[in-house]
Structure 1
Amino acid sequence: MPVSCFKKSLLVLSIAASATVVQANSFNRIASFGAIHNLPEGTELNQETSPEIIAASEDGNTLVYSDSPFEALGFVDITNPHKPVAGGIVKLDGEPTSVAIGAATVFAGVNTSESYTKPSGYLMALDLQTRKELARCDLGGQPDSVAVSKDGRYVAVAIENERDEDLNGGELPQFPAGWVTIIPVKDGQPQCGQLMKVDMTGLAEIGAIDPEPEFVDFNSRNEIVVTLQENNHLAIIDAASGKVLNHFSAGSVELQGIDIKKDKKLDFSGSQTRLREPDSVKWIDDNRFVIANEGDMNGGARGFTIFHKDGRVLFESGTSFEQEVILAGHYPEKRSGKKGSEPEGVAVGQFNGQTYIFILSERGSAIGVYRDTGKDPEFVQLLPSGIAPESAVVIPQRNLLVSANEKDLIEDKGPRAHVMLYNFSDTPAVYPQIMSSRTNDGTPIGWGALSGLTADPTKPGMLYAVNDSFYANQPTIFSIDANQTPAKITSAMPVLREGKAAMKLDLEGITVDGKGGFWLASEGKTSKDIPHAIHHVNNNGEIDRTIDFPKTLLAHELKFGAEGITLIGDTLWVAIQKPWKDDPQDQTKLLAYNLVTNIWGAVRYPLEHADSGWVGLSEIVSHGDQVYIIERDNQLGESAVVKRLYSVSIDQLKPAAIGSALPVVKKVLVHDFLPDLKSLNGYVQDKVEGFTIDAAGNGYTVTDNDGVDDSSGETLFFSIGKM
């Protein structure tokens, strides 16, 4: 080989090796801490608690978060980051809005406002170790964000004096105006007597006389960048003098290919021009900073922007971040008419010598990870988060990222609020476990709320799924290639009636018909004019046959209906989720419909007893001489108990006439899904919805993410191996 060719080959190998090393560096969630565990003994467990803004100690072993509803600061010991330990709380006499840590001092902004028109608050300094109050500086207004300079010499507080969103439609001005407060710090103590008030009026084009500073951050030159969200403005302040060095409009973004209507379907063909209205901001270096464009009044550009401090836009994400959210199934359709995935929080840190930018999607409950290149940032991965990530903190010296997720769904019996920890390592990213591809024009395939699975009878790893009524105006059959990691949704076929999207469906089960079409089970609700039925669709998705449930069965109807369907010979078998009026306690039906004789029948299936909530069925699939059935409770997190796969031998499936004495089948435990559901180190998902066995005999499972509504949006998709 010529020397030049040899050198060229070495160069190619070197580049390939470098690329491999870079790609191997990724973040994975290693632990979740429920804020409920920090509630003092004797506190009612239905007390709302919410980690909002989070900070880390200098050694990276202690986390402190603001808990607004409980009016406290929460502490978490992460000496072992895989096993966070409750560190207790410090109760306050007001609402903490933000927290920051400088050396051994915790600084918190505390809101004590009597009303919107009479705002008040203070900055509290707390010793990190003893948790004793060191000082209290009266701020004269309602604080929002708090930041400590890198050298520990200054604390900056955004005094927002937030508007009343119910007054005049939330329009500005609403006095009193806000400002930025700068307080010198000496030996960890804020020098309250030297407090400096920086006037922000007259800067913005929008609401100039009523600035509402939202978020502040320091660079190493002790320059403060501040976002004025409602004013759609940005400013740079010198901390030493309090002088405004520069200010400029955050501007607007023309968005193409977005969903702009809340209508129970995903349609990414819309366009809008929106003000950025940034929330969080972080310096990337001494000259560049990144903003999350959440929007508040008239904005919501659905992405993030990198600015130079001289006002130049260096990078605009446009819709690219939201598209990553869509591909991973985290798009919140209910926010389509407003701010979409709603980026709110930002974090920046150096890991392995490279700078990473973290963008938090509040409504998508996900974190976008980007590598800073000095020019356009490079998308690395999307992380699952708890519900509504509000803030994040980086701990580079320990290779950790931590998110604070504020939503506590105690009133809805949903997931509690969490702090989540992620480790940066050479371990490949384990999430997402399933994502979609793009159409020929580059549009991401929107998906979510997967409720049933079936497999191609001849192609290993080729699966099909349906979505449920969360997308009532867009019932869809998804094709899934499970031969790759993550599994890939390769196409989406609408379910049609006379060429239009079929209405009044709640698809919960799917099975192939062996002829290129599908049988679908739709869970009904007569009171809402949604029929309980089985539908056949051809290979174009058109419904060409409907089989309604018999009246003898519907006479005993309760809320829960069909949750899975499978075909055995000439008979369709349908799993009914829970007992109806004619069923004994802890027994439900497996319905049978013979396609040749058109006769209905049933057997009964014994359910596990529920100590809390209920237990029901989610899926049925036949394979060999067995049918496999998902049985689950409706509990999540630490309350989840029953998430199991059982088998019933087919020779037991001897249906009797509905209304007669039904035989009760015997079941055998095949697999406990709880370890699988805990494997991503988040809270345990309640809805293990789909299961199938592919042509090679491998079992696959999928969870239902509820369309990212009161849910983290996570979809778990995994194989349990050979059956």
Structure 2
Amino acid sequence: MQFKKTALSWGIALATPLILAACGGDNNKTPASQASAEKNFNRIAVYPVCMQADATCNTDDATAAEIVAASTDGMTLVYTDSPKEQLGFVDITNPAAPTGLGVLPLVGEPTSVAIKGGYALVGVNTSSDYVSVSGLLVVVDIATRSIVHSIDVGGQPDSVAVSPDGSYAAVVIENERDEDLNDGALPQMPAGKLVVVNLSGAPADWTSSAVGLTGLADLYPTDPEPEFVDINADNIALVSMQENNHIVLVDLTDGSIVKSFSAGTVDLTGIDANEDDVINQSESLSGVLREPDGVSWLSTEYFVTANEGDLDGGSRSFSVFNTAGEVVFEAGNSLDQLTARIGHYPESRSENKGNEPENAEYGVFGEDRLLFVNSERASVVFVYDVADFTKPVLKQVLPAGVGPEGALAIPARNLLIAASEEDDRGAVIRSGLNIYQYGIAPASYPTIVSNDRDDGSPIPWSALSGLSADPSDGTLVYAVDDSYYKKNRIFTLDVSQQPAVITTETHIIDSNGVLANLPLGTLPAATVNDDKTVNIDPEGIVKLADGDFWIASEGKGNQIDGPVASRNVLINTDADGLIQKAVTLPAAVNLLQRNNGFEGVAEYEGKLYVAFQRAWQNEDAVRIGIYDIAAESWSFLYYELDAPESQNGGWVGLSEITALGNGEFVVIERDNQGGPDAAIKRLYKFDTTGLADGATVTKTLVRDVLPDMKATGGLVTEKIEGLALLANGDLLMVNDNDGVDDSNGETQLMNLGKLF
């Protein structure tokens, strides 16, 4: 089936920015051509920087790409690797197939990099502690990947920029605070500053001078902590002082302060301010300090701040200022709400700074003036059309690796680079350089968006762990969220549109006391909330022809190793989510319980077929439970899993089951690995016809979906957990994004076509 585009662009529908002022005339606008209206960014590759150490990333060592720059011809990426204290180089002559060129060891921690001709200028922190600060601006020949010169900058550098005309470099010396000293309270000496480097002549001839920043900010004036710098065409440096909630403009030609002003505050409504395992964007915060991190000039008159926050604030937004210090645009709650709409909202950061906009970048692609904002915690890049600098209009949202820090536009090659810095092999996270290409093509992401609730906020969703096609409407499928969230829900998706649209949410309700009256120890005491919503672990869902749902809730805990926190339960609800019945396993089977229980449920001829994830105690094969609804009886088949094939070991299990008819079923068999370590992501089918209780099924490979997952241009996600067979024969597959916790939040709903 070909998804048809919705007539209403989801981007336009979602972009409801708060415009504080609409300054500027026609000189601030660029007409968009008809061709440009069809252009989008799509991810074409990710280069995991662990490949610099091992060709297949078979290493546990932490490495990172934090800040990224490009050679003047746009063919070589240069990135800072703080954990390894090195500078990395990547060839992107073919951007769809980036190739590592090696690394250059440094004498300290690289924090930033910028380009001057054939040289990379690298800020390197050589401080021994927070008081005895020191640092260098290291000059590297890109062609030979060798150090040719170093300049002592007299402190801990945090950001480096080179002026558009190549005359100056500006180096922010943060001299960051010790967050363990007095709970990180300021002031903490020594104070930060700005170092200006005159780039005339050869590197050995370059000279530097310091610009003091003390006494400028209202907050902690004796301890300026500059964070980021960008330079415009007039050689004016824009400096953010994050903890001071301040912005400074410096004329690099003479080191004078042109303007200095507070970044101000934002009143936020329609946000989630509590970490309670429920996304509820109906709360508010007043007077939130912006505390900008990354900044970028849009012109010589306007600039943008990414308001990540740190010490006392963080407004979850980005803002556009003019050089008089006036806010002409404020994104307000729109980024938080947008991430909730596309399944990327980080609920675990609700009491902190929400999605945390980290950095901003600006580029002119043909006639299109575009702004890019990296969200550190939602792991996305927001793309805005800024034909009018005072009225950014949402264009796209791009998926990135975990923690996108650096952003780099390369308009001459129609490329955008985002450097995702988080790296933890054990958590299935690898740092990488995300590469996006701008061209005439439909946007491939997001694959799912949601409608609004009655209060105007988006239906929040994430952690989808099961799919089921509607038995009578070929355009609808149903999904559930797993135990990452409380107050579990059933989602209705319209898959006739692209992206698919979550049209409604249905809470699972225990008003009849079905779960509340289960035997003690079956489910935790806190399963049923005061409003009768429930906190279970839905891992599978199937909708029956009569309109009822059956949900497979996975248990937790091992019977032998103990303790058992909850049992595996099949839960029957009506079409409105009201629980009608709950079914547990036979007592003898419960005695074999281990953590990896119910992972999917399907229905065929009045029987429910339940996929267990892994073999239970003292069993060699995984169970397929069969529950006869009318007879209220259980029987079991067995399924033999493939042996692990990942270079990182791990385990293999089932994560979904879907009925094909005629006694046949398809299952997802996958390993618990992602990225370069992923090896098994497969669909198998088996026939249950004529099999007796206790028999082992014979499986047949339907499709290795690892190539499909790689075709998204990103790193392979760990958990594919949902399948739905549509009436026209198309098979849909979706992954579980783990609630954006230790995950990049990416959800890929794929149409695999007609496989049966």
Task: Establish whether TM, by shorter chain, passes 0.5.
Answer: yes
Deviation at 1:22, TM superposition (A): 3.5
Letter in 2 for 1:150: P
Per the alignment, residue 653 of structure 2 pairs with 616
Letter in 1 for 2:252: A
The 2-side partners of 1:511 and 1:713 are apart by: 25
Per the alignment, residue 675 of structure 1 pairs with 707
Alignment of structure 1 residues 482-521 onto 2, 5 Å: 482-498=495-511, 500-521=531-552
Find 2:440's aligned residue among 403, 410, 426.
426
Per the alignment, residue 648 of structure 1 pairs with 686
Per the alignment, residue 624 of structure 2 pairs with 590
Change (3 A) 1:695 1:132: closer
The 2-side partners of 1:433 and 1:190 are apart by: 52
Alignment of structure 1 residues 231-246 onto 2, 5 Å: 231-246=244-259
SS in 1 for 2:498: coil
Change (3 A) 1:305 1:92: same
Deviation at 1:501, TM superposition (A): 4.9
The 2-side partners of 1:125 and 1:501 are apart by: 63
Per the alignment, residue 721 of structure 1 pairs with 753
Q: TM-score, normalised by structure 1?
A: 0.94
Q: Is 1:627 equivalent to 2:665 in the alignment?
A: yes
* Aligned residues between the structures: 696
Q: Is 1:524 equivalent to 2:555 in the alignment?
A: yes
SS in 1 for 2:216: coil
SS in 2 for 1:469: coil
Per the alignment, residue 19 of structure 2 pairs with none
Change (3 A) 1:522 1:125: same
Find 1:396's aligned residue among 385, 388, 411.
411
Q: Is 1:57 equivalent to 2:71 in the alignment?
A: yes
Larger RCO, structures 1/2 (Cα 8 Å, 6+ apart): 2
Alignment of structure 1 residues 453-492 onto 2, 5 Å: 453-471=467-485, 473-492=486-505
Structure 1 contact 324–382 (Cα < 8 Å) conserved = no
Letter in 2 for 1:518: F
Q: Deviations over 1:97-147 (max 9, x none)?
A: 101111111101110111111111111111111223222111111110000
Per the alignment, residue 401 of structure 2 pairs with 386
Change (3 A) 1:528 1:198: farther
Deviation at 1:697, TM superposition (A): 2.6
Change (3 A) 1:501 1:645: farther
The gaps in structure 1 that reach 5 residues or longer are 1-16, 657-661
The 2-side partners of 1:575 and 1:41 are apart by: 36
Per the alignment, residue 204 of structure 1 pairs with 217
Percentage of identical aligned residues: 43
Deviation at 1:682, TM superposition (A): 0.5
Per the alignment, residue 262 of structure 1 pairs with 275
Structure 1 contact 102–188 (Cα < 8 Å) conserved = no
SS in 2 for 1:326: helix
Per the alignment, residue 599 of structure 1 pairs with 633
Per the alignment, residue 126 of structure 1 pairs with 140
Find 1:550's aligned residue among 580, 583, 586.
586
Q: Is 1:95 equivalent to 2:109 in the alignment?
A: yes
User: Which contiguous aligned blocks of 4+ residues in structure 1 show a shift greater than 4 angstroms?
Assistant: 17-20, 40-44
Letter in 2 for 1:684: V
Letter in 1 for 2:434: M
Structure 1 contact 152–188 (Cα < 8 Å) conserved = no
Per the alignment, residue 724 of structure 2 pairs with 692
Deviation at 1:653, TM superposition (A): 4.8
Alignment of structure 1 residues 162-241 onto 2, 5 Å: 162-189=176-203, 191=205, 194-241=207-254
Q: Deviations over 1:279-307 (max 9, x none)?
A: 00010011111010000011111110011
The 1-side partners of 2:634 and 2:458 are apart by: 42
Change (3 A) 1:367 1:190: farther
Deviation at 1:388, TM superposition (A): 0.4
Per the alignment, residue 357 of structure 2 pairs with 343
Q: Deviations over 1:574-602 (max 9, x none)?
A: 10000001422xx2010011122211110
The 2-side partners of 1:18 and 1:109 are apart by: 38
Structure 2 contact 471–544 (Cα < 8 Å) conserved = no
Instruction: Please report the RMSD computed on the Cα atoms of aligned residues, expressed in angstroms.
Output: 1.7
The 2-side partners of 1:608 and 1:559 are apart by: 19
Letter in 2 for 1:161: N
Q: Deviations over 1:620-667 (max 9, x none)?
A: 11122121111111121122222111111241454x2xxxxx110111
The 2-side partners of 1:576 and 1:322 are apart by: 36
Structure 2 contact 428–718 (Cα < 8 Å) conserved = no
Structure 1 contact 126–135 (Cα < 8 Å) conserved = yes
SS in 2 for 1:651: coil
Structure 1 contact 455–693 (Cα < 8 Å) conserved = yes
Per the alignment, residue 8 of structure 1 pairs with none
The 1-side partners of 2:234 and 2:40 are apart by: 31
Alignment of structure 1 residues 71-86 onto 2, 5 Å: 71-86=85-100
Deviation at 1:529, TM superposition (A): 2.4
Structure 2 contact 32–368 (Cα < 8 Å) conserved = no
